[in-house]
Structure 1
Amino acid sequence: MNSEDFQSVEYEVVGKVARVTLNRPEHFNAIDLHMPGELERSIELANFDDNVKVILLSGKNVFCSGYDLKLFAGERGVTPGSQKMPWDPYTDYQMMNRCNKAWMSIWHSLKPVVAKIRAVAIGGGSDIALCCDVTFTSDDARIGYPPSRIWGCPTTAMWCYRVGMERAKRILFAGEILSGKKAASIGLIGEAVSDEDLDSAVDSFVERIISVPTNQLFFQKQVINQVIEQMGLLNTQRLATVFDGMSRHTPEGVAFHQRMQEIGFKKAVQERDSGAMTVWSNTDDNSNKSKL
Structure 2
Amino acid sequence: MSEYENIRIESPITGVRQIILNKPEKRNAISTPMRTEILEALQTHDIDDDVRVTIISGAGDCFSSGYDLTSGGLMENSPLYSAPGDGQWTRQATDSWFSIWDLAKPVIAQIHGYAMAGGTELASACDLIYMADDATIGYPVVRVMSTPDWQFHTPILGLRASMEMMLTGNTYTAEEAVQVGFANRAYPPSALQEEVLAIAETVARVPSDLQQVNKRSVHRSFEVLGGRTAIRAAQELQALAAYQESVKEARKNPFKAIKEAFD
Instruction: Tell me the TM-score normalised to structure 1 length.
Output: 0.80
Which amino acid letter does the alignment assign opposite residue 203 of structure 2?
I
* 2:230 maps to amino acid: T
Between the two proteins, what is the percent identity of the paired residues? 28
Paired residue secondary structure (2:110)? strand
Q: Within 1, Cα distance between the matches of 2:108 and 2:58?
A: 12
Change (3 A) 1:207 1:80: closer
1:245 aligns with 2:234: no
CA RMSD after TM alignment: 2.1
Q: What does residue 18 of structure 1 align with?
A: 17
Residue 191 (structure 1) aligned to one of 185, 189, 198: 185
Offset at residue 60 of structure 1 (A): 1.1
Contact 1:138 1:181 in 2 (8 A): no
Q: Deviations over 1:190-237 (max 9, x none)?
A: 111111111111011111122111122112111111111112233323
Equivalent residue, structure 1, for 2:67:
67
| 1: CA distance, partners of 2:105 / 2:200 | 12
Quote the Cα distance in structure 1 between the aligned partners of 2:74 and 2:42: 25
The structure with the largest alpha-carbon Rg is 1
Give unpaired runs (5+ residues) of structure 1: 73-78, 82-88, 275-292
2:131 counterpart SS class: strand
Q: How does 1:68-217 map to 2 (within 5 A)?
A: 68-71=68-71, 80=74, 90-217=84-211
Rounded Cα–Cα distance in structure 2 between residues aligned with 1:100 and 1:39: 15
SS of residue paired to 2:206: coil
User: 1:137 aligns to what SS in structure 2?
Assistant: strand
Equivalent-residue separation in structure 2 for 1:43 and 1:232 (angstroms): 26
CA spacing shift, 1:231–1:148, aligned 2, 3 Å: farther
Q: Pick which of 235-244 and 200-209 moved more.
A: 235-244
- 2:43 is the counterpart of 1:44: yes
* Paired residue secondary structure (1:34): helix
CA distance in 1, matches of 2:216, 2:20: 25
| 1:109 alignment partner AA | L
Q: Is the 8 A contact 1:13 1:52 kept in 2?
A: no
**Contact 2:63–2:115 (CA under 8 A) maintained in structure 1:** yes
Deviates more, 1:207-216 or 1:7-16: 7-16
Of 148-157 and 209-218, more deviation after overlay is shown by 148-157
Name the SS of the counterpart of 1:20 in structure 2: strand
Which SS does the other structure have where 1:69 is aligned?
coil
Query: 1:43, 1:105 within 8 Å by CA — same for their partners in 2?
Result: no
- Report the residue type matching 2:51 in the other structure: V
**Aligned partner letter, 1:63:** F
Task: Between the two structures, name the one with larger relative contact order (CA 8 Å, sep ≥ 6).
Answer: 2
Give CA-to-partner distance per residue, 1:97-137, whole Å, 9 cap, x none: 22322222221111011110011110000001011111100
1:153-211 per-residue CA deviation (whole Å, 9 max, x = no partner) reads: 22322222222111111111111111112211222211111111111110111111221
Q: 1:230 — aligned with what?
A: 224
CA distance in structure 2 between the partners assigned to 1:3 and 1:24 by the alignment: 17
Contact 1:155 1:237 in 2 (8 A): no
Q: What amino acid is the match of 1:3?
A: S
CA distance in 2, matches of 1:92, 1:22: 30
Which residue identity does 2:65 align to in structure 1? Answer: S
Q: How many matched pairs?
A: 254
Separation (CA, whole Å) in 1 of partners of 2:131 and 2:74: 30
